[in-house]
Amino acid sequence: MTSTTIPSRNKMRIAQQFSRAANTYNSAADVQLDIAFDALTYLPSHYKNGLDIGCGTGRISQRLSNRCDRLVAMDLAFGMLQYAQQNEVVADPSICWLQGDADSLPLADDSVDMLFSSMVLQWADNQQKVMAEINRVMSSGATAILAIMCDGSFKQLNDSWLNIDSERHVNNFATAQSWCDAAKQQGLQVNMYEKQYVTWHQGIKPLLASIKSIGANVVLTSQNSTATNSTFSRSQSGFNRKKLQHLETYYQQQYAKNMQLPLTYQVCFLHCSK
């Protein structure tokens, strides 16, 4: 009898959650769109073969397809790909929709001269493995633009939970420097930029819903810890109305401005060339 590895289980959970969120993603993912638009500004040229890692609902893929002759739009979540194809305003023959994993890209060596990924790679289990794959599929002279959530993201939420209980409710995000180092160690030339984005919410329920509605409420399991199924799932120790009230009270006392609760996204932009 074979057992599923922790990384494999995490990937299945990620794919399931994002597939479930396909119908609500576009209406909820405003900050993700802002980040992707900022990432697009680093792609001034026209390219021959492009790859969009973590294309989601495809709204950025359609913009990327205008910047290259042929685009592979890839996502781990099949539900996202289905939504993207069904909701194309005009079917674009230059886009190939493909289910795939950033840890093992289903593309040939040296096959793309433009690679784009926004708000996806923070889910990767192994930075070196992902960067090795990115380097492998990039042709000589290729450009990769990667926008990645990093350490400092969801800080207010994490700090507030730590005041409530000892469980892990928020993922540990890698540092921007560790992503930059991983890319360099795989032989890529890298320029790194960081930017902070803050969303504001009327209460703890809308704040948590903003995470769930885009599918980002999976707390990854590591070798040394257990995790809840989501950022605010009902765990065995009990996630109840009283605990939620305590969370909101602490959050408001520590972070509220004008009766609004902030949620921070710390993002690093890696401009990589080969």
Q: Is residue 248 part of a domain?
A: yes
**How far is residue 80's CA from residue 163's CA, in Å, rounded to a whole number?**
35
Q: Is residue 91 part of a domain?
A: yes
pLDDT in tens, 209-221: 888 876 566 565 5
**How far is residue 74's CA from residue 68's CA, in Å, rounded to a whole number?**
15
Q: Work out the angle at residue 249's Cα, subtended by the Cα atoms of residues 245 and 250, and round it to the nearest 5 degrees.
A: 120
Report phi then psi at 179, rounded to 5: -70, -45
**How far is residue 220's CA from residue 174's CA, in Å, rounded to a whole number?**
13
Q: Domain count of the chain?
A: 1
Q: Is residue 156 part of a domain?
A: yes
Q: 187: domain CATH number?
A: 3.40.50.150
**How far is residue 143's CA from residue 185's CA, in Å, rounded to a whole number?**
17
Q: Is residue 1 part of a domain?
A: no
Q: Is residue 140 part of a domain?
A: yes
**Structural domain range at position 258:** 6-273
Q: What is the pTM of this model?
A: 0.87
Q: Is residue 225 part of a domain?
A: yes
pLDDT in tens, 99-151: 999 999 999 999 999 999 999 999 888 999 999 999 999 999 999 999 999 99
